[in-house]
Amino acid sequence: MRKWTTADMPDLTGRVAVVTGANTGLGFETAMALAQRGAELVLACRDQGKAEAATERIRRRAPGAVIGTVELDLASLASVHRAATIIGACHDRIDLLINNAGVTGLSGTTEDGFEAQFGINHLGHFALTGLLWSRITAADSARVVTVSSIGHRFGRIDPEDPAAPIGNAYGKSKLANLLFTYELDRRLADTPAVAVAAHPGGASTDVFRYSPAAFRLPNLAIARLFGRTPAMGALPTLRAATDPTVVGGEYYGPSGLFGIAGYPDQARSSAHSRDPHRQRRLWEVSEQLTGVSYPAQGR
């Protein structure tokens, strides 16, 4: 099987790409590769100082790159609204929205009272995507790529009460990413845009920075064992975002054993993630919780 790498990415000159959490890890490597192919970037990050530092690092390896930054704290719906307003004012279309930012092991609640991981990993991105809907659907062939995890298989969502804090909070938030992607793709059916999901496998990133050592250290050991650098971990996202053969509703991840290592290819998500009832119910509850309503369209 042929190994897909950044060398297979097409020219992205003239394309506008928004990447959340782009100052470090998978997000940074994703943004770097997109810039090297000519995309105009918007780095949407919680820490503007780190976003500016990432901008300079990208420009050193992609001279002439056009890069803007916007402050985005996914734990605050007010921040999500401000960021979407700024992005919309600066760009009449968005060709790529990469919902990458995420946390694991973070306890407590968001500014709006949601369980932290569900609020940041899912609800924040749900709101951002909805607020940017008009810009996404204005592009000729936009893609919304949401980064999930193989950990979604350990997540459970009550189809009658999707926001209920049950089971593995991180797994639940990553399952929500997939349920959101599949329902979003259906709702984009009458537009030029599609929604796709990806997961990095066992990549060594700082997503585990809030996790207990008993969870963080084994994951980092697995990443080192399989040589899963952030650059390798970003490949499934980049393929989902740029490969011309990708179609809406697909899911990409490493092709090796258990989806931990290898080069990106289509992956299969859990049966729970493919349940249309759970997809619709999560969507309805997400609109209620965030106050962000999407246009009623699609299949």
Average pLDDT over residues 252-262: 87
What tens digit of pLDDT does each residue of 100-113 get? 999 988 889 999 99
Identify the bridge partners of residue 266 per DSSP, sorted by sequence position: 252
Q: What is the pLDDT of residues 106-142, one digit of tens each?
A: 889 999 999 999 999 999 999 999 999 999 999 999 9
Residue pLDDT, tens place only, 271-288 = 999 999 999 999 999 999
Q: What share of the chain in percent tops pLDDT 90?
A: 81
Which residues are CB-contacts of 194 (< 8 A; sequence separation ≥ 6)? 141, 142, 143, 144, 185, 188, 246, 247, 248, 249
Query: What residues have CB less than 8 Å from 209, skipping those under 6 apart?
Result: 103, 105, 216
Residue 214 has pLDDT above 50, yes or no: no
User: What ranges make up the beta strands (E) of 106-156?
Assistant: 143-147
Grade residue 299 by pLDDT with cuts at 50, 70 and 90. Answer: very low
What is the full DSSP assignment across 180-219? HHHHHHHHTTTSS-EEEEE---S---GGGTTS-HHHHHHH
Range name among 5-14, 202-211, 247-256 with the lowest pLDDT average: 202-211
Q: What is the pLDDT of residue 219?
A: 53
Closest CA to 197 of 140, 236, 231: 236
Whole-Å CA distances, 69 to 40, 45, 140, 185, 217: 11, 7, 24, 27, 32
The tally of CA atoms less than 13 A away on the side-chain side of residue 42 is 24
Q: Which residues are known to be catalytic? A: 170
pLDDT for the residue numbered 215 = 47
pLDDT in tens, 49-93: 999 999 999 999 999 999 999 999 999 999 999 999 999 999 999
**Contact predicate 121/75, CB 8 Å:** no
Q: Write out pLDDT tens, residues 175-196.
A: 999 999 999 999 999 999 999 9
Say yes or no to pLDDT of 239 above 60: yes
Query: Which region, left, alpha or beta, applies to residue 21 given φ > 0 means left and ψ of -120 to 50 means alpha?
Result: left
For residue 20, list its beta bridge partners: 44
